[in-house]
Every structure is written in C-alpha cells, then in structure tokens.
Structure 1
Amino acid sequence: MAELPEYASEPPRPGAGFDTYRLARGGLPDLLRPALKDALAAAGTPPAAVDTVLFATESLPGGEASQTAVAQLLGDLGMSHAYPLTLGLADCSTATAALTVAAALVGSGAARTVAVVSGDLVRTVLPGGRVLLGGSAVASDGAAAAVVSARRHGWEILGGARQVSYDLFGPSPAAHRLGAQLAAYQGLFEDLWSATGLTPPEVAAVLPSNLAADTLRLFLGEAGFAPRQLYQDNVGRIAHCLGSDPLINLIDRTEAGTTRGAYPVVALLGSSAAHLAAVLLRAVED
C-alpha cells in the first residue's frame, strides 16, 4: 500500500485492515479466461454445455472490439456457441446480482446452463486511482466465475435482494451519507429475509465485498450480524477486487478447509457506494 500516492504520507488506518493490492499485467481476457476455466472444472461442466454467459464487467473495450474479445475468449474455452450478455451499472454489486439473473434464466427455461464471470481492470474502470470512498476500499484487479444450472451441485441459490440509494450519488454531508448507507443495508437484508424466510442467526457466514473491515462491521452489525459471521480474511490479502470479491471469498473460504457442511447457509454481499446486492446460498449435500 505504501507505493500508492494516497498513502505516501501515512498508511491506511489500522482498522481498515488493508495490506496488499493486486495488479494485473495482462488484459481483461487474461483475467477472465482462468476464472471461467476453473469454474467449469469445479462444476464438472463441459464448456459446450454452457448456452449463456453473463459478463459482469465494465472493462470491455466497447464496440466491435468487445465483440472480437468475447468471441476469442469463448472460442478459446470451447464455448463459441454460448450466447453472451453483459450486465453493468451496479458497480461492485453487479456480479452478485448476476447470480440471481442466471438463476432466473435457468428457472424459467430460457437457459439450461449459465456461466457468470466477473472481472475488471482498475486502470480501465477507475483511472483516477485505487483508493475509493474516502479510504473505505482499495481496488485490485481480479476475476471470478460460477456456473448456474438446474443440476443440484455445490450450492443452491435460495434467493436474492438488491438495493440502490440514489441519495448517495454525488457529494453530500457525511452524516447524511452514513444514514443512507445504514438504511440501504438494513433494507437489503429485510428484503432478503422476506424472500427466503431466513434470519441473520441462520447464516453461518457473510462473504462480502472487501471494504474496510471496520466500516463493513458497522454496516452489517446494524443489519443484525455478529462480527464472527463476517469473512474478512481477504481484506488484507487481496483488497477490493471490485465485483469479484464475494465469489473469490466463497472459493477461498472453501479451499481453506472449511467444508460446505460446516456452514450450510452463506450470504454473498456485493457493495458499492450506492448499490447493494445479496444472495443466499445453501450447501448441497454430496
């Protein structure tokens, strides 16, 4: 962190938990390709079985260059017949919301197998610098992917919720912003409990965006969660990989040796300045 201009004179506040950020040397396809490949392998899904790909990214070049990049990427992975769609506008909550969009496509019969891939390059989407929201996040380059289908495997999507607070766009007094953010988090989880019939104590772990640790504990505490329920191991290790954090945290939590049976219900939480999205997942017994 010391090399960032914003921290040249002093490091991040200790409570934020930031230590290291990640910088990609290649282009966007170099981020997305291994994420998609690993997700397909983990799901045991042949690439040709994927009929739809949701790209949760704002780093595509635009115009014909985007079409060329996507065609090359999907062709390299054996997915050239998959229909590509992009989702955006919701910043770092987009990928989490995309999981429920994928589930809706599968549930309606409009798609059979959907790959959701998230990834962004900070130099493309945040040319003004990596330190965001007054030091509440330090942006990293990263990607993650998931496969959504009707097959019971891995995790079952129980439901989702989304919130946007347009009061948080543009400058406003700090007290007003804090109140609006707390209300947004509370409203998000009220909608999630209404959709799923669950409550905060029934969630074994919240896997959130890697915002400043102390800030997120405040917001989620007001939403009914205890600090022990929050997975924040990656705040210091990888910082804020924009929309990809919740999926990365799910993967890392599992690979660290915590079996799905040890935390049968988890919440993924994607957060940005004004947008929030949450998804409840339940472990599927092998």
Structure 2
Amino acid sequence: MQNRYACAPEHVATMRTSELRERFLVEDLFVSGEARFTYSHYDRVIMAGIVPGDAPLTLPTPEELHTEHLLDRREAGIVNIGQEAEVTVDSVTYTVPREGLLYVGRGAREIVFSAPGRFYLYSAPAHTAYPTKLVGPDEGNVLDLGEQETSNKRKLRQLLYNGDVKTCQIMMGVTRLEAGSMWNTMPAHTHDRRMESYLYFDVADDARVIHLMGEPSETRHLVVANEQGVISPSWSIHSGVGTRAYAFIWAMAGENQAFDDMDAAPVTGLR
C-alpha cells in the first residue's frame, strides 16, 4: 500500500512537477490479478484498483491498517469501470454493471471480485454500519450540466448522495463529458469541509487530462493519463480539461455530505 502524507498549501506552491506527481497523482492502480491500495492522510481515505485475473480475487487487508479486515472500521464505495461482473460480500453476490456502484458498509468481512470487472474502491472511516446496496449507473440523482458553447456539456451521476443509500461520510459518483466537450468543474471551487479524489477513465491512449489543483491564487497542474487517480486536498481547486472527452469518478469524504457546500473560485480570479 502506498502512503501519501498531507501537505500544506505553502509547501505545494514550491513543488516541482515531479514532486507534485509523487504527492498527488496515483499511477498504476490497475494491474491484472492484483488489488493495489493508496492511503491518503487527507481524511484517511483509501483509493484502490482491483482487477481479478483468471480466478476470483478476495480483497486483502493491507498490513498497515492493523485490522483483520479492510472494513472493520471503514465503509467503501466500489465502481466497476470494466464489463459487468459479480462482487460477493459475505456470501451475498451482487451483479455490478459497468459504471454501477456497490456500497459496502462497515463490518463486511469477505469481499470477492470476479472477472471481467475492473473495480475502483474508495474507502473512508465509518462511525456506524449501514447496509450494503447496489446502485445502477442511471439510479441516484442524474444531472445534465454545462453547455456545448463552453465545452463542458456533461452528465453527472450522483450515486452516493444524500439519498436512498445511507453512508457515514462517503459521497461518490460518475461524470462523463459529451463528445466535443473537454472541461469539468469550471468555474472551479474548493470545499474546505471535505477532500475529494478523482479517478479518470476512458481517456484515449493518445489523450491526456490537464488536472488543475492548488489554491486559486497559486494554481498548479498534473498531466493525467487513463485510469490514474488524483488526491485533491480540501483547500485545493479540482478542475480539468482534456485533449478530448473522458469520464471520471469523483469521491468525497469529510465533515459533511452537503454537495453544494463549496466555495466558488471564479475563473477571473485564478492565477
């Protein structure tokens, strides 16, 4: 499991490209036959890529957690970015479609993943246990946002969001840009009450996403390839523009679950 420590804004403002990437970009998450974990000290979230190989893959527990099972004191949202596949949680099997989400509550002991799924897991500490629940890609709250004129026409699916699925703190969903659109989350914002993570996917091999981060007055950027993740501190903006359309999973954890609790960073004030 990789370990990523928190950084102060004034420290980030002095970083070179290589250090920014080392601290905030999560590469090589998805490897066939493996579960790979990254632990962030921002709200103690875990990002993981899980790719079953020829046999089902039982979710391991990283030794660094010092627990018997990954979710002994955590909850998780799991999004399938591969083909439809099964996930079994304590002997109950769920068929998770592409871009569907499986919420798994605190206390789950054994989680088994089957091919041909390709799973992204996001986990945060949990104070109580809520039931495991499957959410289809067009369930939850679906929003059509943006305009073609501003190159940000997109569909935002709020899969874990103040609704039918109870969670302790995780909020999670999938956003997909339409062909010809490139920008996400612009105008940008911060939300000092919670951190956010991005997992970019369906990025063409010869394409990249320029992910903007940093304080509004001291912006920085990461060049992100397909199936790479970004750790976004609560004080940082998180916006991106691609060389062509793409999709991403957004996930948040922190003080509250009010999606609109954010502090705007108007484009005219960015530096």
TM range (shorter): 0.3 to 0.5
Relative to its length, the structure with more helix (as a share) is: 1
TM-score, normalising length: structure 2: 0.36
Q: TM-score of the superposition, structure 1-length normalised? A: 0.35
Q: When you count strand as a share of all residues, which structure comes out higher?
A: 2
